[in-house]
Amino acid sequence: GQSLEQPSEVTAVEGAIVQINCTYQTSGFYGLSWYQQHDGGAPTFLSYNALDGLEETGRFSSFLSRSDSYGYLLLQELQMKDSASYFCAVPQAAGNKLTFGGGTRVLVKP
Amino acid sequence: GAVVSQHPSRVICKSGTSVKIECRSLDFQATTMFWYRQFPKQSLMLMATSNEGSKATYEQGVEKDKFLINHASLTLSTLTVTSAHPEDSSFYICSARDPGHRETQYFGPGTRLLVL
């Protein structure tokens, strides 16, 4: 089976940096993805890591360490619009169905 | 990115009735689509994998006779909640895999079902 653990909630102020950790247990590893979901909305794809290291996309970066079964999503220069839930997810096979972590609710305060 | 639509966005029905939810890939062909259910403040739980031209694959614990899935074309999958009950009230979301980037899934906007 597969399981992913991430913190349930994080609160930060505008302009701050937030790191959301995700640890996973999988029978096989095919990459770690991150999705953002605003209340009442659909999840949107943020990033994907298949190899160790840091992937930077604008204010958001994602890191993976396969030896530690660990990854994180880094949100920099936080803005109010970043208040949302963030999910890490792993596919059961390449390009296959996803298993999601419990989600981390990020609340950005002025 | 690719666009996935869902219809309806919101539905209220009486207990015992059936509800059909459509999921369409608007600008690409999707041989595989996925159906998820999400309860308030919880994560997305995969219900089934919808395969074009063949039977859907259901996750453990999901009743295939209650949640009927049909994937009749490369751009349309439907989920029918049969004999809906209040405990079926939830947010149902479909997704399709990007044919050019297998690691990416595009999600529909979701359908909020309320069974009275």
User: Tens-of-pLDDT digits for all 116 residues of chain B?
Assistant: 678 999 999 999 999 999 999 999 998 888 889 999 999 989 999 999 998 888 999 999 999 999 999 998 889 999 999 999 999 999 999 999 877 777 788 999 999 999 99
Q: Is A95 in Cβ contact with B97 (below 8 Å)?
A: yes
Q: Which residues of B touch A99 (CB under 8 A)?
A: 46
Q: How many CA atoms lie within 13 A of B6 on its CB side?
A: 28
The dihedrals phi and psi of A66, each to the nearest 5 degrees, come to -70, -35
Q: Is B42 in Cβ contact with A97 (below 8 Å)?
A: no
Beta strands B10-13; B111-115: pairing state? parallel
Residues 6+ apart with CB under 8 A from B71: B33, B50, B51, B52, B53, B54, B56, B77, B78
Cα–Cα dist B66/B88, whole Å: 10
* pLDDT tens-digit readout, A29-87: 999 999 999 998 999 999 999 999 999 989 999 999 999 999 999 999 999 999 999 99
CB of B96 closer than 8 Å to CB of B6: no
For A46, the closest chain B residue by CA position comes to: B104
Cα–Cα dist B113/A46, whole Å: 27
